[in-house]
């Protein structure tokens, strides 16, 4: 049939259904295709916190939101332009967050009376005018999928599982996307089980053809490719990028890479990714608990390896004592915390910037540590690399903060070669030196030399008891303890001499400076950018170096009448700034819902402060 195509700058799609409906896979495959076509993308997978929430309930809804376009894609989007609702619960969970005229694609086979009641609807929302403001595309997706696969001889459950691909085929047609990338995925994935691969491919094509022929769809849409710097790109998640950043750092430093970790949501995919790359020299040890994970990393660092441990908030609590040991021994390890909602088990699959205080101050005694954070899924690569550089060149443990939003989110990443990356120069001592002492320090960085065991004449003691300022022997001398506390503090502070100055966007603005850190960069940038285009006097600065702060931070803050700190917690970075730079007044805008900011709510807050006299 001859149907028109409409060109759009960007679109937000949300795939939503039960945990078993395959919405994460459908969203990921759509993302991969849009990435290959050259669109700018930002994604937000949203999982239930319960492992097996009751089927058909709002608590069990799994979602995957993607914002893709030719320009202006800074976040996964506030609200979908297209909602795929595989059951009433998925519709119920997202109904409050839909734009007027949103396209809603529903599987009417799942809208039985019991399904509707279980989702919390009183009446059928498809017939009671609940959706009168939206464009609803109804299709018997489950029954059409089974009919399309009838000749393959699959059991009922296996055929039912392919309905996500039928739906994906419809969405591919709706946005003029090709099927080849997804077909190749199934051909490769199910080489040993070709019937299942064929079933998914057939369902995909059937959904595409169904969308092509039904009268409910009058037009399809086209999104033009985004303008990007030339190079080779791939779609990458934050956790994948983190793993690759560590591998690149190991190659640049000429040291073996060791990861000692215990599985925990949402950090486990870093470990999964590194296990695929033994060819690159990565050694992965899955420990029996969080404490063993970090202690194995400390041992690996002592033996001369680039040592990593990965976790989330609850795991950080368990690793605390061993982090203190790494600080005392002054060994270079990187601790990655992919943050999630807390406290306790909290919200394992939801995002939050909840562990900043824990990272900066959450240990016994005077135990300063370098803390940095990533901003986007792709730049997790850069900050994993930078965390390793600081650890090796300053002989100190480093905490790298990412977030569930970053770890599971994806975006196009321009692949880098080793020649694109800066050198990493570990402070190693590999041969006997008569002037060497275990805690003799570099004058600029106050870092001691890194000596692996087994080098003749360089034997030394190491452990958690206080060290003599030169020999490293156990010392209970009060004056020595004071000296060592001051040195460890100053060593972290001097890292500021070896990092770039802080930058900000909005050179002519004086009234309001928006301050962010971590994974909310794209959303904050998008909100500020919109207001700057409207002629508002607003500026934006985003922090990746947390402890220590860049040396020119106070100089930037002094330029503005108001400073607003935006973060997904109750004000942890704002309080840190009050303690570190108390001469300034800090306004706060906080969100603690397990969800990222929306651009609309940020703009409302910014305008409120800009309009105050």
**Interval 548-565: pLDDT, tens:** 999 999 999 999 999 999
Judged by phi (left if over 0) then psi (alpha if -120 to 50, else beta), residue 308 lies in beta
Question: Pick the residue with more confidence: 460 or 1?
Answer: 460
CB 237 within 8 A of CB 409: yes
Cβ(46)–Cβ(80) below 8 Å: no
The C-alpha atoms of residue 437 and residue 460 are separated, in whole angstroms, by 8
> Among residues 547, 539, 545, 551, which one has the least CA distance to residue 579?
547
Specify the pLDDT at position 4: 66
Q: Tokens 């839909």 correspond to what residue?
A: 98
The mean pLDDT value for 381-402 works out to 98
| Per-residue pLDDT at 214 | 86
Q: How confident is the model at residue 529 (pLDDT cuts 50, 70, 90)?
A: very high
Q: For residues 477 and 474, give the distance between their C-alpha atoms in angstroms, rounded to a whole number.
A: 9
Residues 523 and 170: their CA atoms lie apart, in Å, by 29
Question: Side-chain half-sphere of 455: how many Cα atoms within 13 Å?
Answer: 18
* Overall average pLDDT of the 258-269 stretch: 97
Q: Which residue has the higher pLDDT, 391 or 226?
A: 391
CA–CA gap between residue 529 and residue 550 (Å, rounded): 23
Q: What is the pLDDT of residue 419?
A: 93
User: What is the percent of the chain with per-residue pLDDT over 70, rounded to a whole number?
Assistant: 99
- Which H or E run contains 576? helix 572-580
Q: What would the DSSP string read from start to end of 590-602?
A: E--SSS---HHHH
Angle formed at CA 264 by CA 262 and CA 265, multiple of 5 degrees: 160
State yes or no: pLDDT of 3 exceeds 60.
no
- pLDDT (0 to 100) of residue 376: 96
Mean pLDDT, rounded, for 484-512: 96
Asked whether the beta carbons of 83 and 105 are under 8 A apart, the reply is: yes
List alpha helices for 276-403, DSSP H.
Answer: 290-302, 313-329, 356-361, 380-394
Residue 149: per-residue pLDDT: 96
What is residue 1's predicted lDDT score, i.e. its pLDDT? 44
Going by pLDDT thresholds of 50, 70 and 90, the confidence category of residue 47 is confident
Query: If you ran DSSP here, which 8-state letter would residue 158 be given?
Result: H
Distance CA(300)–CA(277), nearest Å, equals 18
Q: DSSP E strands: which ranges in 429-544?
A: 512-517, 538-543
Q: Predicted confidence band at 218 (pLDDT cuts at 50, 70, 90)? A: confident
List the structure tokens of 396: 């100190």
| pLDDT confidence bin for 613, thresholds 50/70/90 | confident
Of the listed ranges 1-5, 222-226, 250-254, the one predicted with least confidence = 1-5
Give the pLDDT mean for 329-349.
Answer: 95
Residues in the chain, overall count: 613
Return the minimum-mean-pLDDT range out of 48-52, 153-157, 297-301, 442-446: 48-52
Ordered structural domains, the chain, with CATH: 4-223 (3.40.920.10), 241-413 (3.40.50.970), 512-611 (3.40.50.920)
State yes or no: pLDDT of 266 exceeds 90.
Answer: yes
For residues 224 and 477, the model is more confident at 477
CB contact at 8 A, 68 and 9: no
65-93 burial, b at 16+ Cβ within 10 Å, e below that, comes to: bbbbbbeebbbbbbbbbbbbbbbbbbbbb
Task: Name the DSSP letter for residue 441.
Answer: B
Q: How confident is the model at residue 270 (pLDDT cuts 50, 70, 90)?
A: very high
Q: Which residues pair with 8 in a beta bridge?
A: 223
Judge whether 445 and 491 are in contact, CB under 8 Å: yes
Residue partners of 484: CB distance under 8 A and separation at least 6: 466, 467, 469
Please provide the average confidence, as pLDDT, over all residues in the chain. Answer: 94
**Local confidence band at 597 (pLDDT 50, 70, 90 cut-offs):** very high
């Amino acid at each position: 049939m001859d149907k028109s195509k409409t060109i759009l700058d960007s679109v937000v799609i949300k795939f939503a259904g039960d945990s078993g409906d395959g919405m994460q896979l459908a969203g990921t495959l759509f993302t991969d295709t849009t990435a290959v076509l050259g669109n700018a993308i930002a994604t937000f997978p949203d999982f239930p916190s319960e492992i097996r929430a009751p089927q058909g309930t709002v608590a069990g809804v799994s979602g995957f939101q993607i914002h893709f376009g030719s320009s202006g894609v800074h976040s996964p989007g506030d609200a979908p332009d297209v909602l795929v609702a595989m059951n009433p619960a998925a519709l119920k969970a997202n109904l409050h967050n839909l734009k007027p005229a949103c396209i809603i694609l529903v599987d009417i086979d799942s809208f039985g009376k019991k399904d509707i009641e279980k989702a919390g609807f009183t009446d059928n929302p498809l017939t009671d005018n609940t959706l009168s403001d939206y464009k609803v595309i109804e299709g018997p997706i489950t029954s059409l999928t089974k009919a399309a696969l009838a000749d393959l001889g699959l059991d009922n459950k296996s055929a039912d599982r392919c309905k996500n691909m039928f739906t994906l085929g419809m969405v591919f047609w709706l946005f003029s996307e090709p099927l080849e990338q997804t077909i190749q995925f199934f051909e490769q994935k199910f080489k040993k089980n070709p019937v299942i691969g064929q079933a998914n491919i057939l369902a995909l094509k059937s959904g595409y053809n169904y969308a092509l022929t039904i009268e409910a769809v009058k037009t399809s849409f086209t999104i033009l490719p985004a303008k990007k710097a030339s190079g080779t790109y791939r779609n990458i998640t934050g956790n994948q990028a983190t793993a690759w950043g560590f591998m690149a750092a190991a190659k640049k430093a000429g040291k073996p890479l060791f990861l000692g970790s215990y599985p925990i949501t949402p950090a486990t995919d870093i470990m999964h990714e590194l296990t695929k790359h033994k060819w690159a020299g990565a050694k992965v040890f899955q420990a029996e608990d969080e404490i063993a994970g970090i202690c194995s990393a400390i041992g690996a660092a002592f033996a001369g390896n680039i040592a990593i441990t990965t976790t989330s908030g609850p795991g950080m609590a368990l690793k605390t004592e061993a982090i203190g040991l790494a600080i005392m021994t002054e060994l270079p390890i990187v601790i990655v915390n992919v943050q999630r909602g807390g406290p306790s088990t909290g919200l394992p699959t939801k995002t939050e910037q909840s562990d900043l205080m824990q990272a900066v101050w959450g240990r016994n005694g005077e135990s300063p540590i370098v803390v940095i954070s990533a901003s986007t899924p792709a730049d997790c690569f850069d900050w994993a690399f930078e965390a390793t550089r600081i650890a090796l060149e300053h002989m100190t443990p480093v905490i790298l903060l990412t977030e569930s939003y970053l770890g599971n989110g994806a975006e196009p990443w321009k692949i880098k070669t080793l020649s694109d990356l800066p050198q990493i120069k570990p402070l190693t001592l590999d041969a006997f030196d008569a002037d060497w002492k275990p805690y003799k320090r570099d004058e600029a960085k106050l870092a001691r030399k890194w000596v692996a065991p087994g080098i003749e004449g360089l034997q030394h003691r190491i452990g958690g008891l206080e060290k003599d300022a030169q020999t490293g022997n156990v010392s209970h001398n009060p004056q020595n303890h004071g000296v060592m506390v001051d040195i460890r503090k100053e060593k972290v502070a001097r890292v500021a001499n070896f990092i770039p100055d802080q930058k900000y966007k909005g050179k002519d603005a004086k009234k309001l400076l928006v301050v962010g850190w971590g994974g909310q960069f794209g959303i904050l940038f998008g909100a500020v950018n919109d207001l700057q285009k409207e002629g508002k006097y607003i500026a934006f600065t985003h922090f990746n170096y947390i402890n220590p702060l860049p040396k020119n931070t106070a100089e930037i803050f002094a330029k503005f009448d108001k400073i607003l700190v935006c973060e997904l917690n109750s004000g942890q970075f704002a309080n840190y700034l009050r303690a570190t730079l108390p001469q300034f007044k800090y306004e706060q805008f906080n969100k603690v819902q397990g969800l990222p900011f929306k651009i609309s709510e940020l703009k409302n807050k910014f305008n409120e402060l800009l309009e105050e006299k």
